[in-house]
Amino acid sequence: MTTIQKQRISELRGEGITYAAIAIDLGLSENTVKSYCRRNFTAEVKKNVCPMCNQPLEHLPQKKQKRFCSDKCRLAWWAKNPDSLNRRAIYNFECLQCKKPFTAYGNAKRKFCSRACSSAARRACGG
């Protein structure tokens, strides 16, 4: 990446242009643009404003850096961006009672798709 390309990336990100548009404009890979931006100024600029309302954030010393100005903004942002969640612990099962396939988040040992199936299985075995 040339110095001119780096300067152009900085200018375009400052104007709010997306990584993909910058990559097309400069003939670079989108991942190259993202990596450059993460390593340089743009990551710091974004840390100081709320991504939902663009209000400046007040960071307390010796505390974790805030990402949102309030719970209202945090909840609204996650509601609008559900694809940004990094859910790795999604498991696929077949219910032992009704034999229907289901998915569960965070629990690798689930056996039943619902409480109703769990209760029915307990009643069936006499427990």
* Arithmetic mean of pLDDT over the chain: 85
Question: Tokens 């340089």 map to which residue?
Answer: 40
| Range from 5-19, 45-59, 78-92, 106-120 that averages highest in pLDDT | 106-120
Please report the pLDDT score of residue 45 as a whole number. 47
- 60: DSSP letter: P
User: What residues contact residue 72 under an 8 Å CB cut-off, 6+ apart?
Assistant: none
Residue 103 host element (H or E) = strand 101-105
Please report the pLDDT score of residue 46 as a whole number. 56
Please report the pLDDT score of residue 41 as a whole number. 65
Q: Is the pTM of this model over 0.85?
A: no
Please report the pLDDT score of residue 92 as a whole number. 93
Report the distance separating Cα 109 and Cα 95, nearest Å.
Answer: 11
Average the pLDDT over 28-41 and give the result.
86
Instruction: Assess contact for 29 and 22: CB atoms under 8 A.
Output: no
Of 40 and 32, more confident: 32
Q: What is the pLDDT of residues 48-63, one digit of tens each?
A: 888 888 888 888 888 8
